[in-house]
Structure 1
Amino acid sequence: RGGRTVFEQSQISGTIDFIFGHGTGLFINSDIIARNRQDVEHGNSYGYITAPATNIDQPFGLVFKDCRLKKETDVPEKSYALGRPWHPTTT
């Protein structure tokens, strides 16, 4: 229920679900950076980058325009998935 927010030319980094929420977020020309985790065994998933909780009646949730998805150097390839629903929003 976060309303609307615009992030432009930003650097956003984190580990599990570090971009999340109910509101509408517009990310423009920003770096999204997946960080390393010390609590994950080799070969296991590190988690998700986004966890939107967009209401089914809301036309948009998290929107990314001209952004770059990056990772810290010690983060293995294919260790993060892009997103998962935070909670059920349909019946």
Structure 2
Amino acid sequence: MAARIVATGKEHERLRAALIEAMRKTAADMPAEEILAVVSALVGQLIAVQDQRRFTPAAVMQLVQNNIELGNGQAIDKLINEAGGHA
């Protein structure tokens, strides 16, 4: 079965914000690539515990890919729309 598309809601945004806040508190001085490695390992663990009676491995990987692309696009949009630095 394919993973269904769910619109991002307030609960999803609260979870995302809480994860970001936890990373800021816990790993404020950790290089970005190390944070990416840790979070990627967590995603791998979350993939491993998905119910295989409900989702095929391909469907789970498509869900991950779609959301990586969405998050990447949001980050790029934020960078494009932010005011520049100070001279």
TM-score normalised by structure 2 residue count = 0.25
Q: Whose RCO is larger (CA < 8 A, sep 6+)?
A: 2
Name the structure where helix makes up a greater proportion of residues. 2
Structure with larger Rg: 2
Name the structure where strand makes up a greater proportion of residues. 1
